Structure 1
């Protein structure tokens, strides 16, 4: 049999064919494998293909054969990712607000290549999420990589930071001046990615939304603030902060209705100690950074949660209640005004 002109790519193409066209439910016979190789101008004898299929194991691709009629049919039996795992990754990418729609589609297309063409169609049905708000900052994908690189190299970073104005325009903060921050970690909170770093000028830990950071560059300066982060538990830090808004850290005691136990566990974890107060309520003490967002979280839970202490936090909640009452006091609105 005359050899095809692309014989040197034989094993590569065989791996590509088996990964793309076979899975647990789809198989290729030896004749079909030869036919697929011929599309790439590669010839193969049956005996050599047996050896080639065994050689694929060296590449981490396990192929099994099973009887079919008077012969055998073959398929890939194990892949780096199972379909449920790939679906989970697709859902995470699609629901991640910090990844742009375009980058989401690119990443999902790459994940599809880890499945057979038949399984990839199942991933495609997972892609559409109606009304999902995605970031418009394409550079975040690379910002994260740059930040990780700075952490690995123990270097500070420079960047500009922006906010949206009422004209829906990006507006640089601090007049466009660059921030000089020592990056120590990344945190995920409320669908956003945050850089957690040390501001040497302010001598404190600060955090910044990564999708609002522009023109990140590595500094020649070594990071500072090591003494702060050596004693900082990043997971605990994120748990104490509501919406990554800072505030004075306090041990706050709450009185909570029993039916909100799940809300407390979801927010603070199963390690919190919930002490029965009566048949319908329990108390719990949690470490939080007291901010407007924390108070708003308490407001949202209505009469299901009450702050018992410390007095300073109760006083702050009372001030917020009075401020809101003053804002909304007045004559009752007419029905048309409400609409």
Structure 2
């Protein structure tokens, strides 16, 4: 029997049809497969299509056929991603402030191609991106890629850094001066993406919001600060920093009501020791970078938590409380 037309596209189109039109709940028959190929101007005899369905496994596409009545129904099994996994990725993309709305929708659209058109509709119903607070820096993908490249090549990076002014305009910080930083890692904290790097001039570790970095480029200079990061656990470092704000690292003793045990574990992990003091309270020692953001976190939990040591941190909290009181005093 002579070969059909457009044979060089047959396997590709067959894979496309099977992946788009079938899943664990949706099947396709051989006549429907033949009709699908015909829509792409691909003709073939049934025997060759049977062989091609088996050959798809070489491409990582497993197809099963099940007898239903006097016909076989075919569908793709064992996809690279299960639907619940893709929904999880969609939710992560949606909730990421550092990914723009445009990029979020583009990424989700690409994820939809990994499932059938039926499951793609289920992913679409998960999408509620419009109206969310998102970064407006479209270059963030390329910024992150440049940071990873600099880390792998052991190079410093140069970039400009901006902030928003009261006119809602992007305003370069330090009059547009270039920051020259040794990148050592990226951290996702409080819905934002941060570069963690070493500032050689200040001789200290600093953090920078990735979505506020502009015109990034690699330097010819090798990175500094290796001794500071050699023993640094990035996850542990992020846990100690509230909102990625720096501060003196100290062990702080907290007196906490039992009802907040979950809050403490969620923030500092299950390895912290909760030491009972009475039937209603426990103490816990936590390593943190003491900053106004940390004090604000303690303050937000109200009367159920109290800093009890060291004295200098207790004094810092008292000063912060007095500052707030003075800020909200009524004029006499």
Band of TM-score, shorter chain: over 0.9
**Which position in structure 1 is the counterpart of 2:324?**
324
Partner of 2:121: 121
In the other structure, the counterpart of 1:162 is: 162
Indicate yes or no: 2:284 matched with 1:311.
Answer: no
Give the structure 2 partner of residue 254 of structure 1. 254
Distance 1:223 1:3 in 2: 61
- On the 8 A contact 2:187/2:194 being kept in 1, the answer is yes
CA distance in 2, matches of 1:128, 1:325: 40
- TM-superposed CA distance for 1:5, in Å, is 3.6
Partner of 2:91: 91
Matched with 1:178 is 178
Q: Cα offset for 1:329?
A: 2.3
Instruction: Give 1:179 shift.
Output: 0.4
Q: Which residue of 1 aligns with 2:59?
A: 59
- The alignment covers a number of residue pairs equal to 332
Q: How far off is 1:224 after superposition?
A: 1.1
1:10/1:42 contact within 8 Å kept: yes
Query: 2: CA distance between counterparts of 1:235 and 1:33?
Result: 50
Using the TM superposition, give the Cα deviation of residue 130 of structure 1 relative to its aligned residue in structure 2, in angstroms: 6.3
- Residue 43 of structure 1 and its aligned partner are, at CA, apart by 1.2
TM-score after normalising by structure 1? 0.96
| Structure 2 gap segments, 5+ residues each | none
What is the CA-CA distance between 1:129 and the residue it aligns to? 4.7
Distance 1:114 1:314 in 2: 54
- Match in the other structure for 1:296: 296
Residue aligned with 2:244, SS: coil
Corresponding residue for residue 228 of structure 1? 228
Q: What is the alpha-carbon distance in structure 1 between the residues aligned to residue 301 and residue 317 of structure 2?
A: 14
Corresponding position: 1:68 with 2:63? no
TM-score, structure 2 normalization: 0.98
Cα deviation code 1:62-118 (max 9, x no counterpart) = 000001111201000110000000111011101111100000000000000000001
Question: In the alignment, what sits opposite 1:336?
Answer: none
* Cα distance in 1 between the residues matched to 2:58 and 2:227: 47
State how 1:144-223 maps to structure 2 within 5 Å: 144-223=144-223
How far has the Cα of 1:2 moved from its partner? 5.4
CA contact (8 A) 1:274 1:282 kept: yes
- The 1:102–1:130 alpha-carbon spacing in structure 2 relative to 1, beyond 3 Å, is closer
| Change in 2 beyond 3 A, CA 1:331/1:215 | closer
Q: Is the 8 A contact 1:3 1:42 kept in 2?
A: no
The match for 2:33 is 33
Shift of 1:330: 2.9
Look up the match of 1:45. Answer: 45
Structure 1 consecutive aligned stretches of length 4 or more whose deviation exceeds 3 Å: 1-5
CA RMSD of aligned residues (A): 1.2
Contact 1:195 1:210 in 2 (8 A): yes
Is the contact made by 2:4 and 2:45 (CA closer than 8 Å) also made in structure 1? no
Contact residue 64 and residue 75 of structure 2 kept, 8 A:
yes
Q: 2:138 and 2:94 mapped to 1: Cα distance?
A: 15
Q: For the residues of structure 1 that align with 2:106 and 2:233, how far apart are their CA atoms?
A: 34
The residue number in structure 1 matching 2:263 is 263
Question: Quick one: distance in 2 between partners of 1:67 and 1:109?
Answer: 34
> 2: CA distance between counterparts of 1:141 and 1:206?
21
Gaps of 5+ in 1: 333-339
Deviations 1:220-244 (A, max 9, x none): 1111111111011101100000000
